[in-house]
Amino acid sequence: MAHQPELVAFFARHFGAGENFATITQARKHAAEVLGEPVLPGTALAKQVDEAVEAGVVRTAQAILQTSATTHDIYDRLVDLHDRQPALNVRSSTSVLQQAYSTPVPLAFLASTLAEITPDTTVYEPTAGHGALLLGTNPAKVTVNELNPERAADLRAQGYTVTQFDATEYQPDQRHDVVIANPPFGAVRDEQGHRRRFALPGNRRGTTQIDQAIAFQALKAMKADGRAVLILGGKLGEEEDLRSDRYNTLESRGFFYPLYQQYRVIQHFSISGDLYRKQGAGFPIDVMVIAGRGRSELPLPAAVVPPIYKSFTELKELIPDERLRHPSSHLPGLRELHPNLETSDNGRSGLISGAGASRSDAPDRSTLRAPDESAGAVDDSHLDERHRGDPARDRSPSRPSPANSLFSADAAAVVSPQYSGTAPPTGMGRGLE
């Protein structure tokens, strides 16, 4: 990892200048020039380049927050940035075991917005990775946990104070305004090869799903009137009946029922796995927004399945178009916004009509029983030349004109991809019984 700062600085300058990489092969060729040695596919050095690409993307995303006038301006530029990064399809044995998929920066900004994060907000992130979900935070007010030592070092280089504990067990000393998390999901096996079962509050059976365990443990760090955004593994399929059955399995029901009983879930929606393709994954995710402790007024997802958002364009509708009032300012050398910047028209469209959208007349399926469906296969077989037709990219907003340069030549802070803060899981998704 000796060359990581140099690689991160290069990719940050490249993306900050509005440039792109059509494929990861192209990015490796440029990295080879920086390193003075070839970067061969499938090697540890190739994975290091992948991580440096993600680090450069996050650095550029932080700069975009500093140089945008409105929330929609930020989001559009982050989608453009996402479109300009190559697909990352090399994963080390460690990242495979830890299900180390980074959060795409447009989704990270959406999560931060839904969590109502400002530089004054105290935040806890239990599986922080390279810090994508910490966009707009003040490092002095953030509690960051990351088990992987390399990524923990990278987070410290960004100014965060980092702990390195098992996120299924660790609880910070203080409570926070916001908890935000995108933990790994899947089953974990113990030293004997047996599937590990985690305790869940209000569920004597517990769970084998590590993201569910981390979510409940992290929520203990939220203030009673705090806010949380959880990004967890979702359900395969688009048909309402099929998805309802999968939300109603014993494992899923055992998580969502106590969650909705103990926390005020005010929003629950699904996101197509296509939007994770460039991160090396492709499994659907669920996003839950929580506003304090107490019983949720929403019906359980087995009764009214969450709507599915299939593109970045649709997700933009969840972000109000507002002028920036609290720009983050912890990055050195970045100017603040001019106070007289004008926003564009609000242009907010109506609610989407996604597959499985909530309906007031939906039948009550809370008594349904069905075995877990196998959902272990994740199609991350995309290759460089086959990935030019990204469906999420094709439906993205038109690209804005990037700034000439967001970074100086000495931008060299180290960042790394999203990694777990817990023992390595052995599979992905739900229904892995």
DSSP for 350-394, please give it: -----TT---TT----TT---PPPP---------GGG-SS-HHHH
Enumerate the domain spans of the chain: 1-90, 103-333+352-374
Q: Report pLDDT for 2.
A: 66
Confidence of residue 1 (pLDDT cuts 50, 70, 90): low
Q: Report pLDDT for 315.
A: 97
Lowest mean pLDDT among 139-143, 316-320, 351-355: 351-355
Burial class of 274 by CB neighbour count within 10 A (0 to 12, 13 to 18, 19+): middle
Q: Are strands 198-200 and 285-293 parallel, antiparallel or unpaired?
A: unpaired
Q: Report pLDDT for 149.
A: 83
Confidence of residue 55 (pLDDT cuts 50, 70, 90): confident
- The span from the CA of 150 to the CA of 209, in Å, is 25
- The span from the CA of 175 to the CA of 177, in Å, is 7
Q: Report pLDDT for 122.
A: 98
Query: Amino acid identity, residue 50?
Result: D
Region 103-333+352-374: CATH code: 3.40.50.150
Does the pLDDT at position 344 exceed 80?
Answer: no
Q: How large is the average pLDDT for residues 198-206?
A: 88
Q: Report pLDDT for 327.
A: 47
Contacts of 85 (CB under 8 A, 6+ apart): 15, 20, 21, 53, 54, 57, 278
Q: Report pLDDT for 357.
A: 40
Does the pLDDT at position 305 exceed 50?
Answer: yes
Confidence of residue 165 (pLDDT cuts 50, 70, 90): very high
Share of the chain above pLDDT 90, in %: 55
Does the pLDDT at position 367 exceed 90?
Answer: no
Does the pLDDT at position 328 exceed 50?
Answer: no
> DSSP readout, 219-240?
HTTEEEEEEEEEEEE--S-S-H
Q: What angle do CA 341, 121, 112 make, to 5 degrees?
A: 65
Q: How large is the average pLDDT for residues 47-67?
A: 91
- The span from the CA of 336 to the CA of 394, in Å, is 32
pTM to 2 decimal places: 0.75
Higher pLDDT, 332 or 217: 217
Does the pLDDT at position 381 exceed 50?
Answer: no
Query: Average pLDDT, whole number, for the chain?
Result: 78
pLDDT in tens, 262-281: 999 999 999 998 887 776 66
Higher pLDDT, 358 or 240: 240
Higher pLDDT, 380 or 91: 91
Q: How many C-beta atoms lie closer than 10 Å to residue 316's C-beta?
A: 22
- Tokens coding 31: 């990295």
Higher pLDDT, 108 or 428: 108
